Structure 1
């Protein structure tokens, strides 16, 4: 899995590519997010459109990220999950917990009121 992140207008945007299955990559993702939390970032959007496969460890990472941001008074949204992640979110009923948006613009609109 590869991870890219950008910080724009107080929102951390993370794009994930490959398989979200627990490995040193997920630890790197969590470390990267923790570094940004030190910058007082409270809102995050995670683009899952290029994730081919996600397992229970990957789901756990997403839940962990959601918890981190909500505990700081912020929010995390998922952007356009690919088919497999979307099915896993529905199967685990986490689609009722996570906010899912179609694209980055919709994510920004969702998070902007929370950032104000």
Structure 2
């Protein structure tokens, strides 16, 4: 799994590509997000458009990140999940828990209105 992140207007944007299935990659993702969390970063948008496959560990990581941001008064939005992650979210009924946006701009608008 490959991870890229940037902060814009107090929103942490994370772009994932490859497979979100556990291993050291997910630990690095969690640590990276922890380092970015702070007073000015309360919201997060995770781009899943290039994630080919996600398993229960990957779903657990997303739930963990959602919990981190909500416990700090923030929110997390998923951006354009690819076919398999979208199916997994529906199968686990987590599509009712996560907000999903079509693109970064839509995600930013959703998160700004969450303030």
Question: TM-score scaled by structure 1?
Answer: 0.96
Written as runs of structure 1 = structure 2, the 5 A alignment for 1:1-116 is: 1-38=1-38, 40-115=40-115
C-alpha separation in 2, matches of 1:43 and 1:68: 10
Q: How far does residue 39 in structure 1 lie from its aligned partner after superposition? A: 5.2
Q: Provide the secondary structure at the position in 2 that maps to 1:81.
A: coil
Q: Secondary structure at the match of 2:114?
A: helix
TM-score, structure 2 as length reference: 0.97
* Separation of aligned partners in 1, 2:38 and 2:28: 16
Distance 1:23 1:49 in 2: 20
Runs of at least 4 residues of structure 1 off by over 3 A? none
1:11-45 C-alpha deviation (Å, 9 max, x unpaired): 00000000000010100000000001145411000
Q: Secondary structure at the match of 2:51?
A: strand
Q: Which runs of 5+ in 1 are unaligned?
A: none
Q: 1: CA distance between counterparts of 2:34 and 2:71?
A: 13
